[in-house]
């Protein structure tokens, strides 16, 4: 898994914000603001729903002046569109077809994606990484994303926004 200081692999992925579809490039987003790349296992999976809801319900503006959040998972644009709409997400969900999860080091041996988040700065370097502990069950318990929120809040303190 990538760690702080590692270069973040750039990617171009198709995605949707629930209404529109388009291409998303990590480096282009990072030029405008730090990016939180949030990997999740699958649309409609209870633990992933809880993870994305926790990200959705975070008041990012209270933590930093500017940030982009990108959800990344395998699947289809249609499923991502439905999932984003169902959850009323304020950020897009991107379809990981080329194995970006593997490049970030969060692809499990069975090919599934581990829930994880990477904070990427304007130079496309990872400044923080987090992974949800491997679940013992598939209950809809939201992971503790306090470390993610703390890392984002640290951007303001360090002046790296």
Query: Could you report the per-residue pLDDT of 116-146, keeping only the tens digit for each?
Result: 999 999 999 999 999 987 655 455 677 889 9
Q: What is the pLDDT of residue 35?
A: 98
> How would you classify the pairing of strands 12-16 and 35-39?
unpaired
Which residues of the chain have a pLDDT value below 70? 134-140, 159-161
Q: What is the pLDDT of residue 133?
A: 78
For residue 6, being part of any structural domain is answered with no
Tell me the residue ranges of DSSP E strands in 17-67.
21-25, 35-39
For residue 56, being part of any structural domain is answered with yes
Q: Cα(94)–Cα(116) distance, rounded to whole angstroms?
A: 14
Q: What is the pLDDT of residue 156?
A: 75
Domain that holds residue 118: 12-158
For residue 2, being part of any structural domain is answered with no
* Number of domains, the chain: 1
- The pTM (predicted TM-score) of the whole model is 0.93
Q: Which two tokens stand for residue 124?
A: 């496309």
């Amino acid at each position: 898994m990538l760690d702080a200081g590692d270069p973040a692999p750039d990617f171009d992925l198709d995605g949707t914000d629930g209404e529109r579809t388009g291409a998303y490039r990590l480096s282009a987003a990072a030029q405008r603001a730090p990016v939180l790349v949030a990997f999740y296992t699958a649309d409609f999976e209870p633990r992933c729903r809880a993870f994305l809801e926790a990200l959705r319900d975070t008041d990012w503006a209270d933590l930093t002046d500017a940030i982009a959040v990108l959800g990344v998972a395998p699947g289809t644009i249609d499923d991502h569109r439905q999932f984003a709409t169902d959850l009323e997400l304020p950020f897009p969900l991107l379809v990981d077809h080329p194995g970006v999860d593997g490049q970030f080091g969060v692809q499990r041996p069975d090919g599934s994606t581990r829930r994880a988040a990477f904070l990427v700065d304007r130079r496309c370097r990872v400044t923080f990484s987090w992974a949800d502990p491997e679940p013992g069950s598939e209950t809809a318990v939201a992971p503790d994303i306090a470390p993610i929120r703390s890392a984002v809040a640290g951007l303001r303190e360090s002046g790296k926004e």
